[in-house]
Amino acid sequence: MNRALFVMAALLVALAGCGGGTTATPTPVDPATLGQQTFTSYCAPCHGANGEGFINALNAPALNADGESYMLSDAAILAAIIDGGSASGDTPLGGAMAPLGDALSAEQEAAVLQYVHTLWNDDQRAAHETAGGHEGQ
């Protein structure tokens, strides 16, 4: 009898820790880390691991300092990320890019945009800002 009582008590103690408690809050991801992870997963297969572009038959443009993406506004870059583009060039940076708006969260879209900024050199970032690249975002 004592053994059954002991097992029951142990079971109750073990079950007390289950359910009914608060759920763990996920640790927020640093935007820079999220941007790099998102770029690596969604952009690098076409634009290259370092944004160098033209790595395969898709001829995706360079997004780093060798390219001209810094000349586009953030709104145009986000439009290309979200809406993609067509071969006719409906989106300034889109080309034949598939839309990623349904695959990415707004947080990922913003983070990858900021990550693309890190691929430019200081002069390109300054030119982007001087030209109003951050307006209309």
Average pLDDT of the chain to the nearest whole number = 82
Domains parsed from the chain with CATH numbers: 29-130 (1.10.760.10)
Taken in order 88, 92, 97, 102, the sign of the CA dihedral is negative
Report percent pLDDT > 90 for the chain: 61
> H helices of 87-131, where?
106-118, 122-130
Structure tokens at 81: 């990320």
Interval 61-75 mean pLDDT: 95
Is this structure's pTM higher than 0.75?
no
Say if residue 76's pLDDT is above 80. Answer: yes
Give me the pLDDT at residue 38, please: 97
Interval 56-61 mean pLDDT: 91
Interval 35-40 mean pLDDT: 97
Rounded-to-5 percentages of helix, strand, coil across the chain: 50, 0, 50
Please choose, from the candidates 126, 123, 100, the residue with its C-alpha nearest in 3D space to the C-alpha of residue 113.
Answer: 100
On whether the CB atoms of residues 108 and 100 are closer than 8 A, the answer is no
Cα of 134 vs its chain's centroid, Å: 18
Note the pLDDT tens digit of each residue in 87-98.
544 444 446 889
Give me the pLDDT at residue 85, please: 74
The tally of CA atoms less than 13 A away on the side-chain side of residue 31 is 12
